[in-house]
Amino acid sequence: MAGPAFRAAPVRVRVPATSANLGPGFDAFGLALGWYDDVVARVADSGLTVDVAGEGADEVRRDGRNLVVRAMYAAFDRMGGRPRGLEVVCANRIPHGRGLGSSAAAIVAGVIAARAIVAGGGEHLDESAVLALATEIEGHPDNVAACLYGGFTVAWTAAGVSAAVRLDPVGSVVPVAFVPETTASTAKVRRMLPGEVPHTDAAANAGRAGLLVAAMTVRPDLLYAATEDRLHQAYRAPAMPRTAKLVESLRAAGVPAVVSGAGPTVLALLTDADAASDLAEQAGKGWQAYPLPIDLSGAQVLPLSG
């Protein structure tokens, strides 16, 4: 059987940062943020060339184990075969190891770029297949769903198949990411979670997660109550004491603040853009505060210029 036909022209893909969990929505909720990585890829006559600039440029691999390339190869395999050669250029802006979905962004960028390179790629990999493949590589769907679809997403897996619902957040929500210089390992902090939690805590989180859907879409005045978590943040706190302290101090001041993904970034969900500068002072040294728009578009194939 003949393999797929590949487009000769290069493709450019832009993918947003994401924040997962948002407090009570552990491994389910995701929010796309206006902070982007770009990938430009084209078919070559032979071999593999990988160029990386920006975040993580000194650490990111430049061979077949590069995460963008791995995702591209996996997508090509699903679509019937790989090209003879590949050139990939990555412009990274999303901080690595900070709980802002850098790995999900790399995976989604790779899958979308491969699909765009294959003629008729959308027929081989529709949106649900892209989500399934990206989840398979990442291990869980929360970040990849938000990265792929944009907006506020609720993701789940049933019978081994991942799915997601995308919702439009209310326009008054202003995310502010407090990013430290330190990093965290998602795998390491996940191992700190217990196998069982008290029934009262599980029930409380279920209620808060339901409330958060309403708060993010129609009732932002409920964000403080809706972002309370009893399921994972406290268990991870010993690995990130400064993160836990900042979340505690912000919430003590009435700010809806959560650990972004596995941390150590802290995400505050404001309804007043002018309050962002005041929060930056409250965070103190060692934190950079970034007021960010909510990305509503998700992963996009864009023109090469601009």
What is the β-pairing status of strands 85-92 and 47-54? parallel
Helix axes 67-78, 102-117, angle to 10 degrees: 40
Q: What is the pLDDT of residues 23-74, one digit of tens each?
A: 999 999 999 999 999 999 999 999 999 999 999 999 999 999 999 999 999 9
- Quote the pLDDT of residue 119: 94
Instruction: Cite the residue boundaries of each domain of the chain with CATH code 3.30.230.10.
Output: 11-167+295-302
- Quote the pLDDT of residue 194: 87
- Whole-prediction pTM: 0.95
Tell me the CATH number for domain 174-291. Answer: 3.30.70.890
Give yes or no for a contact between 229 and 208, defined as CB atoms under 8 angstroms apart.
yes
What is the C-alpha separation between 275 and 247, in angstroms, rounded?
16
- Quote the pLDDT of residue 282: 74
- Quote the pLDDT of residue 289: 92
- Quote the pLDDT of residue 305: 73
Q: What is the pLDDT of residues 242-277, one digit of tens each?
A: 999 999 999 999 999 999 999 999 999 999 776 766
* Fold of the domain spanning 11-167+295-302: Ribosomal Protein S5; domain 2 (3.30.230)
- Quote the pLDDT of residue 277: 67
Low-confidence spans in the chain with pLDDT less than 70: 1-2, 274, 276-277, 280, 306
- Quote the pLDDT of residue 246: 95
Instruction: Cite the residue boundaries of each domain of the chain with CATH code 3.30.70.890.
Output: 174-291
Cβ neighbours for 281, distance < 8 A, ≥ 6 positions apart:
none
- Quote the pLDDT of residue 274: 67
103, 83, 65, 184: CA torsion to nearest 10 = 0
In the chain, what is the greatest distance between 2 CA atoms, to the nearest angstrom?
64
